[in-house]
A and B are shown apart, each in its own frame.
Chain A
Amino acid sequence: MANSATLLDVVETARKRARGQITLREATLALTIALLGPLALAAMGTELLPAGLLLVFLLAGLGLGVYRWLRQQPSPYGVAQRIDAAWQAEDQISTAYYFASHPAEAGPLTPYQNEKAVPLALAGDLRRAIPFELSRSTYALGAVVLALAALLGVRYGTQSNLSLKPPLAPLALTSLFAAPEGDELRRDELARVPGKGDEPAQSLRKDSRLEEPPAPLESEPVAMPAEGAPTGDAVGDADAGLPEVEGLSVDSEFGDELATGATEGADQGEGQAEAKDVSSGSEGEPGADQGKPEDGAPSEESNDLLSRLQDAFKNMLSSMKMDPPSGSEPGQPPDQDSGQSSPAEGTPTGQEAAGEASQAGESASESEGSGGAAPEAPQELTQGESGSESSGAPPEGATSSSAGSNDGSKNLAESAQLAAMGELSELYQQRAEDMSGEVLIETQAAPQQLQTPYTPTSAGHRDLGGQVSRDEIPFAYRQYVQKYFEALRQKSEN
């Protein structure tokens, strides 16, 4: 019995050692997972990720660690087998342990076998049987700790504190790549300077790819009609006025985008009016361009707007197959090239449109300021005017028309011209997207018959004289024999 107790003690000691290692390993794993939360927050900031993520990762790591710890608890019998394997004890210790802990199953040789196993157990080194090994989670933990320290270091270096609020990527990009993009950033910053110009104007100037100095401070509304810009619906104006655009005369597809973009710019300038309500009014309102920029307006919004406008204008130019608008009208001042024609240069119709737009914009702004209780008439006027402003510049002297007034004014020459520019098909396509309904195609009724020429063919068969004695091959082996000879044939062919 003393021998059995000794053996049990040895195995139990080894088991404690194994449990300690498992505990260490799983704790390392749990800590690694728990540190992923701070790592994510250090990278993304609490602006993008909730701070509760810390708790989620902590609980996940804890739960997984406990679950794995419980599952990997070694049994004493298993530990005894590990000892046997490590000491090459031919399963003597595990066998002795098993029959010592299960006396009912013991046989006559059990005491003798126990006597042989105990000296082995006492002579062995448990550190060799249950060696300490660094688990892979330890390396993972080290990597996570290093990454976390690096992120915190970068964060401290960029913002001089360890606040986790802003995302790290913009901070790092701003600090690391400010020099190469300094000009562009300065231009953007200049465009956002209050009182030195309106943002829509800057944005649109950038959209028109004009590598020019910043626009005049007293720039005109963004979507102001150019010389002789008529009023009318967007599609009609786009159809009629595309050849005469100076950079902002776009088709309806992009005119809306420009209008929206300009509206957003105007919104930022005014800081009050919403885009929906003042989509056209703010564009036509000269005063909107001189509005005060909103304090603390997010720069990402303007950047996003900038990129969107840029893409839209690229697409427009590629579809129009036109050069950049800077060369559209030689001799025209840059102000005009940028589509910011002054009201004085516009036709009376354009002035009227601008005036109406400004009125509408003002009314819309007032309606926003008054809690959205704006009358319906100004809003309708605003929407009606918006098309004229976002559209191009129709021929001078054209009367203002309501929506769809120019639908029937297309003649064959204009259509041919548009088709030559590739615009017509796009317009059709644009319209086709909005169309729905059934299409009835009438075809001429005539009897149809598929005729295949008849070709007489003939095949000859001959007996090669081969003999197959199937009786020699059992049915169960036929597929194997077939595979075998196929393999032989392939080898002979090769």
Chain B
Amino acid sequence: MATMLDCKKVQPLLSEFVDGTLPEETNWEVKLHVTSCAVCQKVADDFTATARLLGNLERAEPSAGFEAALAARLADLSLKPHRPSLRERFAEWWQAQGAARRPVLASAAAIAALAPVAVVAVLNLPGRDGGAEAMAGAAAPPVGIQTASWSEGESLEELYDDHAEFSSSLLLGDSSVVLTSSDPRL
């Protein structure tokens, strides 16, 4: 059961109460208080009467020559056409595309946006010879980086030694040596 509000809490709400803008539950609580409190009832009645006095005021009107005077002031000015922003122009163009074309355009835009990411991801995949071949022209061996090689007659131990020496000079995560190695076993 709701407790009854006191005058201190009700009076700040009376302006909204007479305007009928209080939430339903609060309005009910204020109404309950007002019906049993002569002081708050009087304040509410006065607020209502004040609003009515203002609302019934005779309206003041501009002079008969208002438009002519305004026209004289505007004589040297011109209505400046609206310059749409880039965003507004895009929105207008987007609306003009129609419901059927918008999904297609959105998909194409998404693919175009993701394409560079996909290319970089493919280039960075370890052990992807296909990718290396595909990008052979662009992915030439970096100048100055040693690559290990294997030839007939070379012992496996020597090869390990070479590999260990060569690997120690690599940056972590740099797969360019692997991609351009002449020996697929490395």
Tell me if chain B binds chain A: no
Residues of A within 8 A of B (CB): none
